[in-house]
Structures are given as structure tokens and as C-alpha cells.
Amino acid sequence: MAADWLLIDGSSVMFRAFFGIPVTAFKAPDGQPVNAVRGFLDMLARLVIDRKPRAILVATDEDWRPKFRVDVIPSYKTARLERGAMPPELQPQEPIIREVLAAIGVEVVGSDGFEAEDVIASLLPKIQGKVEIVTLGGVTFGRMTAQRGWRWSEQHHRRASCVCLRRGVSALRHTLRTQLADCVPLMRALGQQ
């Protein structure tokens, strides 16, 4: 199934890769964990093989808890405030992922004060052709995609699991399932769906 554009929420995929592979599973020669690097690249390779995109763009969270969201939902991602924005074993892996993406010609973009999903949302009106978005999901994506008539499609592979978006049906059900971790009051009140 070919796509003209593959837009990847790099931050969410990086976290999924990190937590999906034990920290001790892959290490660099100097002993540094590279489980997230390996998982990210495995997922990217699987997506390229399956989707055959003409262009790939990886968006990043330059601010994982944007002020404009906190102003509206003060509890937004408060759980991360307690445990930290990023596990210490993951922090040194993010620059490695960026270096590898640059080396293979994949553009990485982010914008100060915004999350990756905001960057992707800002690009959608400017992109022509078939677009697939790879993310773990989120309230913002759920609202954005439901308003634009997109639908969620969970894709499972032998070594990769991701969520892709395609034009179609509402994203609300998936959004309800995925938002407990971001401490969004409505989602917490509803619980798992």
C-alpha cells in the first residue's frame, strides 16, 4: 500500500520503541543503551517496506507540555512532571536517532513551544496526495483528525506496532483509549473504553 507522504510523530514512536524493547537488550560498544534507536529504526524500516512512501518527515516534540495546552487543561501531562519528561536511559538516544535520520535523508522538524502532533497538523493543509500519519495518538490528534474526517487504523507488524491515520471515519474511540496518561480530566472520568 503506497503513500505519497509518511508523517511520523517521532517523539511518540521513540517512546514506544524505548518502552517496547528492554533497556538491556541493545547496547553500543561503550555500554550505552540503544534500545530506542533499534526499535525506532525497526519501525521505520517496516513502515517503508509496507507503505513505500515517496517522502518521509519526522516531527518532534520541542515542548512536551506546551503552555497553550496547560492554560486550557492545567493537569495536561502532570504525571510526567513527577517522573520526568524523559527516562534518563532514553535521553542520550534521541540525538542518535536524529543523527541516523539525517544520515539516511529523513527530514526531522520541530517548532519551539509545540508538540510533534501540532507540527504535523500545521503541515496537513499544505500537503497533496495520500498522507499517512504514524503516532501513538492523542487528544489533539483525535480532535484534529475527527474534524477532518480521518480514521485511526492500528497497524501491527512482527517487530513494529504503530497507529496510522487515513481519511475515513472518526478517531474518537481510539482517542478515548489513549488519553489517560496525559491526565486529561474528561478521559480520566471516562476510563478505559
Question: pLDDT tens digits for 40-72?
Answer: 999 999 989 988 999 999 999 988 888 888 888
Strands 5-9 and 131-135: parallel
**With contact defined as beta carbons under 8 Å apart, do 143 and 184 qualify?**
no
Residue 183 has pLDDT above 60, yes or no: no
Q: How far is CA 181 from the centre of its chain?
A: 14
**Tell me, what's the pLDDT at 84?**
73
**Tell me, what's the pLDDT at 118?**
86
pTM of the model: 0.73
Q: Which residue would you say has higher pLDDT here, 156 or 13?
A: 13
Q: Does domain 5-190 have CATH number 3.20.20.70?
A: no
Helices (H), the chain: 10-20, 35-51, 67-72, 78-83, 93-103, 116-123, 139-147, 172-178, 185-190
User: Which range among 44-58, 68-82, 178-192 shows the weakest confidence by mean pLDDT?
Assistant: 178-192
User: Which range among 51-60, 81-90, 120-129, 176-185 shows the weakest confidence by mean pLDDT?
Assistant: 176-185
